[in-house]
Structure 1
Amino acid sequence: MNLYNLFERTLLKNYLAGTAIAVFGMGSLLIFGTIRLSVSEGYILIGIMVFSAMSMGVSEFLYYLSYSKPVRNVYRNGDPSSAQWQKAFSTLQRMPVLAVKRTMLPHFLGITIPAVSLTFLFIHLEVLSLPHSYLLLAFIGAILMSAMHALMEFFLTMKAIQPLLTDISLQMKKQNLNLSSHEETYFLGIKKKLLASSLFLALFPVMFFSLLTIANMIEGDRSTLFDFSNWPVFFLALLILLAFGGSVLLSDNIQKPIQELKFGMDTVKNGTLSSLENNYSDEFSELVSGFNHMVTAIKERDAQNELLLESIYMLMAGTLDARDSYTAGHSWRVSSYAVQIGSEIGLDSRSLDLLRKSAIVHDIGKIGIRDEVLLKDGRLTDEEFEQIKQHPVIGARIIEQYKMAPELLMLVPGVKYHHERFDGKGYPEGLAGHDIPLFGRIIAVADAFDAMTSDRTYRKGMDVERALQILREGKASQWDPDIAEVFVKIIEKEQVKSNPQHANEKVNQSPLRLSHKGSEPTETSAFRS
């Protein structure tokens, strides 16, 4: 069963329930609890009510078909246009009010005109022995019944249309169609709804009680068709149920959008920026629209902040490149390798983004190393190497000491610990195994590979196979064995894809493999990167 058929079945159930309560419930109480009737007269009035109800149903059905046509068309015709979607959306928003009009016009007139006319005819033919004053009481009673039914239809229809409104919004978004009807929505204020509902719930018991009292005064002590000697207690219980039901419908109509707004606020508080479906046609429409504008503004601000942070990373990496042109591109290549590793081991998108940024700035601490050490050609002395070993600490201090954004502080582990060794012989703190933060272990592998395969002013970079062999040999001693193995497989696959006949082609021949200056090491741990 599709969504529209389910919607129409819900409307039908609501209508039948309202009719049973209003017409056959309260109406029967008014007629059979106050009028002295013989059995035959009772059957005649029942027949009149059934015939009138059928007339009412036909007139209401025709009216419903007329105003629901735009909604029916988009669900039963193929490929609706944007104008048809918007017309359907607008019609749905107006349906609660249209349901009131249907109940107060076709419903009221459809049952009242045939009922009064037939009753008048049977009185004139002396088939019914009723005073003509009962026709006036019946007419007033029918107005009350219709008003009660209309109130129920309004709130039940408000609830029934929500799934279709949401579905139409989603359908239009999928088709990249602009739903502008939010700005031109049919507006029925909360104040009007509260006033009308409260006034009716307050006046209906009084007016209905007055009708029953007047009818009983006319009849005097004569018995009715059914013995309702305790009808005041029954009537009171019925009115309490009516008031309770009306209050529930009214409170649900107000509480639901408030709960949705609260849920939306909670999601924003938790860092999830999601707009709410704006399916309302009262002041809540403006509140939801305001909330959605707020979410959009936050997203735009976050995008600007993200762009600013990205510029900071580029500035940091660019500053380092400006000091040592031979290492230009190293940070970006390490970042690319690190993200490949992170993707392969299953990091989520947020973690991958942080890993990428951490790798970009992993060598930022080299800004604090003197030029004669950082830019030196050839082998470093032990003292100079000790100075170089301070760059992870300097980089972490640069990020930490200026009280930067929390996101920047999350980059510290990768910056500070990318020269730690898995066997605990690295620097700056000599951490070992999985005590080394994950970002540090990942960047260590990516950093070493790029240092080994990049050209220097005085030597050519290693070929890929030699560098991979060193990574294999250094597993569990210099590098995390799992991460090193994952990276080796990544590079081997890339080599096969790029050039199966020359899988040993040097990485520096790729446009991304820019030159990198340093000293010729005697072991992999001596690489300056």
Structure 2
Amino acid sequence: MPIYKRFIQHVILNYVIGSFTAVLLVGAIFLFSTLNIAHYEFLGLAKIIVISSVIMIGCEVVAFRMHLRPVRRFFYGKLTTFKDAEAVYIRIHHLPNLSVLRIIGPHLLGFSIPAAGIALWMIHTGQLAFPFYYVGIACIGACLVASMHALVEFFLTMRAIRPLLKELQEQTHQHYGLNLSLRGRVLLSLRHKFQLSATLIGAFPLFLFCLATQIRLERSDAAHASSYWLWAGTILIFGVAFAYLGGKLLTREIEQPIHHLLEKMNEVKEGRLNSNASDLYSDEFAELVEGFNMMIEGLKEREEKNSQLLDSYFATLAAALDARDTYTAGHSLRVAEYSVLIGRKGGLSETDLDLLRKTALLHDIGKIGVPDAVLLKDGKLTDEEFDLIKMHPVMGESILRRVEPAYAMAPYLPGVRSHHERYDGNGYPDQLAGEDIPLFGRIIAVADAFDAMTSDRPYRKGMKEEKAVTILEEGKGTQWDSHFAEIFVQEWRRNKGIIS
């Protein structure tokens, strides 16, 4: 697999450059520039570095192969399920963290332990004329160098894995039709990444300088060497504290806009498009905020157009239904107006009122399936014909269930199906009673009954509104919900000036 081979080449190149810089350059320069050593001691130290480096590389090769084993098996076709791909995807994301563990573990121990052992033996046998505690200082220096190497290796590996992740995503989508993603899972927080990096970058040169200065003083001015660490320790404490504080401030400065944008993104996910991200930044986050706000404005515009299209769609369906019967033209629109009036006085939210209005527009949509001979009949319906009419709530629900996406139609189904249920349980199609009848069904039932009673039919003339209101009052608690019927009656009388 070419992409995998290129990844391995990049990782090995990064490691070789990092190791060469850390061990041979920084380590060697630290030793040879700090110590005044004889020629035979120079050769001894060079042997220590070479032998320890060979051992270190051997340990790291073993660890590196273990870390990459599942990735290699996948790209060479030995893992074939989607779960295997998910596991490899997670493992690749962990490779930067594993590179740090590899440097701190096999890299550091594989070098330091052999080097310390050989150095102690050479000091003991007189091949090196150093105090024994120099080995301890060298081990501390090795820890510092390894830490910086681990930091560099981490960020280089972060960059190297991205083409590999992209290739894995493409292969998985091609073979399984599924997308690989962490789905918001955080494997290493930004806070820890920046805090540790900034602290290490600030503290590393201080520690290295203090160790080198200790050795130089020991060799040139032993009188001052004894009191050196009192001064150096103070400098180190303040230096490390400043590095830590700087890292904390830097992390906070980056986290704050990210958390703000995440908060706004969650609002968008919940459908709230009314608040833009705060434009409080003068760095690159200003561009990010501007892009986010432009996206929000685009979503608002699209949402508004979709809402207008949906409103037009509902109104068109209602008009198409009403057009079948000139005697009931405008019925659905009037029922929608009456329903919204009842709902508003009943304390429904604006969102629920919008759903109620659209449900009312479609409440009789099932009559599309009723034959004209029955729907437009001049005389009284037979029992069989009335049974066909009574099926229109069920047919309306069935029609709306076929509209995609299904979740968009779901809020309207209960009201469409139940608008002919009676409060006493004698309605249709399900003989529901009381508050078992869906809320929209109870409201639309009042509005639908009033408009039906006051509209002309081929076989009868519409009754006067006063009589229809009287019938609504008499049917409270039996045919209609008392609360909603009373709201409509009171509003009708208030609008007619009958009550103050």
TM-score by length of 2: 0.54
Q: Does 1:269 align with 2:248?
A: no
CA distance in 2, matches of 1:389, 1:398: 15
CA distance in 2, matches of 1:458, 1:402: 35
Q: Count the aligned residue pairs.
A: 298
Q: Which residue of 2 aligns with 1:425?
A: 426
Q: Which residue of 1 aligns with 2:388?
A: 387
Q: What amino acid does structure 1 have at the position aligned with 2:448?
A: D
Residue 209 of structure 1, CA deviation: 7.6
Residue 200 of structure 1, CA deviation: 9.0
Aligned ranges for residues 365-380 of structure 1 at < 5 Å? 365-380=366-381
CA distance in 2, matches of 1:198, 1:286: 29
CA distance in 2, matches of 1:349, 1:318: 24
Q: Which residue of 1 aligns with 2:443?
A: 442
Residue 228 of structure 1, CA deviation: 10
CA distance in 1, matches of 2:246, 2:382: 88
Q: Which residue of 2 aligns with 1:291?
A: 292
Q: Which residue of 2 aligns with 1:363?
A: 364
**Helix, strand or coil at the partner of 2:323:** helix
**Helix, strand or coil at the partner of 1:428:** coil
CA distance in 2, matches of 1:431, 1:266: 39
Residue 402 of structure 1, CA deviation: 3.8
Residue 336 of structure 1, CA deviation: 0.7
Residue 375 of structure 1, CA deviation: 0.8
Aligned ranges for residues 467-506 of structure 1 at < 5 Å? 467-496=468-497
Change (3 A) 1:404 1:257: closer
**Helix, strand or coil at the partner of 1:263:** helix
Question: Does the CA contact (< 8 Å) of 2:207 and 2:236 recur in 1?
Answer: no
Residue 222 of structure 1, CA deviation: 12
Q: What amino acid does structure 2 have at the position aligned with 1:258?
A: I
Q: Which residue of 2 aligns with 1:27?
A: none
Q: Which residue of 1 aligns with 2:399?
A: 398
Change (3 A) 1:229 1:396: closer
What does the per-residue CA deviation read over 1:248-273, in whole Å, with 9 as the maximum and x for residues that have no partner? 11111111111112212222222222
CA distance in 2, matches of 1:301, 1:309: 12
What does the per-residue CA deviation read over 1:261-291, in whole Å, with 9 as the maximum and x for residues that have no partner? 2212222222222320122122212222222
Question: Does the CA contact (< 8 Å) of 2:199 and 2:240 recur in 1?
Answer: no
Q: Which residue of 1 aligns with 2:454?
A: 453
**Helix, strand or coil at the partner of 1:376:** coil
Q: What amino acid does structure 1 have at the position aligned with 2:400?
A: I
* Deviates most, 449-458 or 197-206: 197-206
CA distance in 2, matches of 1:301, 1:491: 38
Specify every segment of 5 or more residues in structure 1 that has no aligned partner in the other structure, as ranges: 1-192, 504-529
Question: Does the CA contact (< 8 Å) of 2:202 and 2:239 recur in 1?
Answer: no
Residue 458 of structure 1, CA deviation: 5.3
Q: Does 1:252 align with 2:242?
A: no
What does the per-residue CA deviation read over 1:421-442, in whole Å, with 9 as the maximum and x for residues that have no partner? 1111111111111111111111
CA distance in 2, matches of 1:341, 1:209: 82
Q: Which residue of 2 aligns with 1:322?
A: 323
Percent of paired sites with the same residue: 50
Structure 1 runs (4+) greater than 4 angstroms displaced: 197-200, 202-210, 220-223
Residue 338 of structure 1, CA deviation: 0.6
Q: What amino acid does structure 1 have at the position aligned with 2:307?
A: E
Q: Which residue of 2 aligns with 1:154?
A: none
CA distance in 1, matches of 2:231, 2:204: 20
CA distance in 2, matches of 1:229, 1:381: 108
Q: What amino acid does structure 1 have at the position aligned with 2:317?
A: M
Q: Which residue of 1 aligns with 2:236?
A: 236
CA distance in 2, matches of 1:317, 1:383: 26
Question: Does the CA contact (< 8 Å) of 2:359 and 2:415 recur in 1?
Answer: yes
Residue 205 of structure 1, CA deviation: 4.8
**Helix, strand or coil at the partner of 1:315:** helix
**Helix, strand or coil at the partner of 1:411:** helix
CA distance in 2, matches of 1:407, 1:488: 33
CA distance in 2, matches of 1:414, 1:229: 82
Q: What amino acid does structure 2 have at the position aligned with 1:257?
A: P
Q: What amino acid does structure 1 have at the position aligned with 2:272?
A: T
Change (3 A) 1:495 1:332: same
Q: What amino acid does structure 1 have at the position aligned with 2:335?
A: V
Specify every segment of 5 or more residues in structure 2 that has no aligned partner in the other structure, as ranges: 1-193
CA distance in 1, matches of 2:466, 2:448: 16
Q: What amino acid does structure 2 have at the position aligned with 1:254?
A: I
Change (3 A) 1:204 1:285: farther
Q: What amino acid does structure 1 have at the position aligned with 2:478?
A: S
Structure whose residues are more often helix by fraction: 2
Q: What amino acid does structure 2 have at the position aligned with 1:285?
A: A
Q: Which residue of 1 aligns with 2:466?
A: 465
Residue 240 of structure 1, CA deviation: 1.7
Change (3 A) 1:409 1:200: closer
**Helix, strand or coil at the partner of 1:380:** coil
Residue 229 of structure 1, CA deviation: 8.5
Change (3 A) 1:401 1:229: closer
Question: Does the CA contact (< 8 Å) of 2:338 and 2:447 recur in 1?
Answer: yes
Residue 385 of structure 1, CA deviation: 1.2
CA distance in 2, matches of 1:290, 1:335: 40
CA distance in 1, matches of 2:308, 2:296: 18
What does the per-residue CA deviation read over 1:464-511, in whole Å, with 9 as the maximum and x for residues that have no partner? 222121111111111111111121112111111xx88xx9xxxxxxxx
Change (3 A) 1:198 1:285: farther
